[in-house]
Chain A
Amino acid sequence: MQLYLPIADMPVNIFLVLAMGLAVGFISGMFGIGGGFLMTPLLIFVGIPPAVAVASVASHIAASSFSGALSYWRKRALDIALATMLLSAGIVGTAGGVWLFTILRSLDQLDLLIGLSYVTLLTIVGGMMINESVRAELRARKGQPAMMRRPGSHTWLHGLPFKMRFKRSKIYVSAIPVLAIGFIIGFIGAIMGIGGGFILVPMLIYFLRVPTATVIGTSMVLTLVTMASATVMHSVTNHLVDAVLALILMVGGVIGAQFGARTGQKMRGERLRLLLGLLVFSVGLRFAWQLVVQPDDMFSLRLVGAA
């Protein structure tokens, strides 16, 4: 069934979009990520203008992360203090990202920047996750405890000043890496049109040693706030948020996320991280392929302005 999208100015198959929402929602619920890094490329693939895709995906991620955050809130598995600290730096990062986005768009190098950041980030993060989870799996096989937080595994990050205590996460760390991570997530999110959950979760685990119990809930709160404000910002500046497209994605997304979350809870942490690592890594390879292989068409069009 075809449905005309009023802002994208094109008809789409409503069941196709719903199915995409369900599939990405399932993955996002399973791994506790927003799924923007999958949804944005998918929408562009079916012909939605990239700018509309980026803007509309923001509200879809807001919906699925709110649904997720609520269930983690009920289980008291989120750290509001940590999320607030990350957010305060995240807003500054977002502003910086939007600024760079505008400059590069006018120079026609935005595609390149987005492509390169996807490749770099996804392959590195994916590679690290695969490496870590395979090691954990091997340790478990040998009968050793598959523990993430080995006693005394303090890195140089823990020697930094301005230490803060985050009670819910049971960590005592310097504010500097917390703010830096928030800034990086905000900056990357603005440029790549993603919530950044898939980078944030491993960063919180590896750098700050946030326990797995609170990491996903906290990441979801952060994603919720950045994506809800991104929706409003995109609406005010570019008028490119397609509410009809967003609604279809949301409905599919939140339903998929519920089933994904149930599947995820049944799996072991290492197995889950290995799967996510493989997923992230392969999307990264897909983008690398796109940059290196000769495109079908050397030419492309971009709208500069209405007359």
Chain B
Amino acid sequence: MMRHLALACVIVLGALAAAPAAAEQLVVSLSNHRVVISSNFDGEDLVLFGTIDSTDGKPLRKKYDLVVTVTGPRHTLRTRRKERVLGIWVNVDSREFVRVPSYLAVLSNRPVTEIASPEVLRINQAGIDNFLLTQRVGPDLADTVPQDPFRAAFVRLENQQGLYQENAAGVTFLTPTVFRAAIPLPAAVPTGAYAIDVKLFADGVLVTRASSALEVVKAGFEQFVAEAARDYGLLYGLATALMALLTGWLASVVFRRD
């Protein structure tokens, strides 16, 4: 992180030498830091507001670009590929994606590929194609090129569930220095801690960045059930089995005809 920042500073300083400009500062604010899942939860859209300020009084540049990356709690998934063996379709090959975000949204004001050079995007992990998705390749952990069939399939499948998304119109500039970003949380959003990383680009280089966080939690009855199932498995199971017996008994009494 610090190294990235230092590198960014060097690039920024280089740009400054060419055309003197202000030192920017990002101030961001999230509409809601705590998303509560209750019985009627059906997804939610969060709004991130932000402003670009000059810290040294010098005038701001005319054109900025923003890339907002939201990452959910990490988990490990296996992507499997089917092939026809003896006439039936069988999983023949698989690749493990280790500690990848369970939710990943990349929002920007225009396609990330137009914002900066591939090299700058790669260094800053801007865009899903440049986001580090660690795979277990033999004994090693590494990421592959975006075109890799397993990586592409993984991103596509996550996208179909609404968990991985890239939106080139996700950030809107209200004025040249005030912006808003809409963060879409689908109904099946995983619970846990989310990180929001806001990167400000100008003239194809990273100028500054800011971060925020949010939390997705279950509340009330949903929380009670989920915690009971996790922490008191035996009691929970016995209670569920008892509930089944009770329901069955009630039905046979209610519908009894003799």
Contacts and interface: CB of A to CB of B under 8 A. Distances in A.
B40 A235 contact: no
A232 B234 contact: yes
Nearest to A234: B237
Contacts of A112: 88, 90-91
A298 B244 contact: no
Given A64-B248, A66-B245, A231-B241, A4 B74 contact: no
B251 interface: yes
Interface centre among B84, B188, B251 (most CB of A within 10 A): B251
A43 B201 CA distance: 46
A109 interface: yes
The range of chain B's interface size is 35 or more
Interface stretch (B46-54, B114-122, B206-214, B223-231): B223-231
Interface in B21-66: 37-42
A4 B42 CA distance: 8
Interface in B157-200: 157-158, 187-188, 190-191
22 contacts: A2-B42, A2-B187, A4-B42, A6-B221, A10-B188, A11-B40, A11-B42, A63-B245, A65-B248, A111-B91, A227-B244, A231-B244, A234-B237, A235-B233, A240-B229, A250-B243, A250-B248, A255-B251, A294-B84, A299-B153, A301-B154, A301-B158
Interface of B: 37-42, 73-84, 87-91, 94, 96, 99, 150, 153-154, 156-158, 187-188, 190-191, 218, 221-223, 225-226, 229-230, 233-234, 236-241, 243-245, 247-252, 255-256, 258
Nearest first, the 9 A-B pairs at minimum CB distance are A235-B237, A66-B248, A254-B251, A299-B153, A232-B237, A67-B248, A307-B74, A63-B244, A62-B244
Given A59-B243, A255-B255, A299-B80, 15 more contacts: A3-B40, A4-B41, A6-B221, A7-B225, A67-B248, A108-B94, A112-B88, A232-B237, A233-B237, A236-B237, A241-B236, A251-B247, A295-B89, A299-B157, A304-B78
